Amino acid sequence: MRIDDVVWDMDGTLVDSTRVVPDAFVRAVATLNGPVITSAEVVAAYPRGTPEVILSFLVGRELSPDEHDVYYRQLDGVAVSAYPGVLATLAALREKGRPVAVFTGASTRSARILLAAAGIDADVVIGGDQVSRPKPAPDGMLLAARRLGTRPDRLALVGDSPLDLRAARSAGSVSVSAAWGHLYDPAEPADVTLSTPGEALALVGSVVGDR
């Protein structure tokens, strides 16, 4: 099937948030008088869903909206960078007349904070708070297809995590592994594996597999 558009995961794919996001959670949990936690424990909790769900889990109790704001205050203003080649690749997509679309398990609020900090202007941002089920469920890709005016099987999802690739497969989209990301697992099946962001440009308009 011909690929119309590329959808990007954020953390570990567009933005190198390997340290800043776990560190923000660690500080937020400490501020909320939760247990002492490590960055590795934060990363292990990512599949649970949005920052609100993760923070409540890490603290060990239900939190109020004001308490959830503690995490966003820790995240706001962090120094974070796009991976090498990302900004040029997104600019080239726009020159082709294609939108920049992001689907992340993080909340829309945290996505906008991190994308702005990294200098990324996205046309479509789908956060984990906009879908009923998190990755690897297909919900986010189905929503992306509706917003982009195409079908899920004509989208490619570029992500570093096995959850990204499974979400793509569950939606019938093309799964594209970002080998530069910190959660990249070469053992996880992918339709395509990219070594650099710029290689994603060749996906638009291409035909991948018999879909």
- Give the ranges where the chain is alpha helix by DSSP (H): 20-31, 39-45, 51-59, 65-75, 86-95, 108-117, 139-148, 162-171
The SS3 of residue 17 is: coil
Q: Which residue range forms the structural domain that includes residue 151? A: 5-16+81-203
What is the model's pLDDT at position 211?
47
Q: Are 157 and 103 in contact (CB under 8 A)?
A: yes
pTM, to two decimals = 0.92
What is the model's pLDDT at position 210?
56
Q: Compute the Cα dihedral for 142, 145, 15, 80 and give only its sign.
A: negative
Residues of the chain with confidence (pLDDT) below 50: 211
Last residue of a domain, one of 51, 75, 99: 75
What is the model's pLDDT at position 207?
83
- Cα separation of 133 and 125, whole Å? 16
Last residue of a domain, one of 75, 90, 121: 75
Please indicate, yes or no, whether residues 177 and 103 belong to a single structural domain of this protein. Answer: yes
The residues, any chain, with a CB within 8 Å of residue 9's CB and separated by 6 or more, are: 102, 103, 104, 157, 158, 159, 160, 161, 164, 178, 181
Please indicate, yes or no, whether residues 24 and 104 belong to a single structural domain of this protein. Answer: no
What is the model's pLDDT at position 206?
85
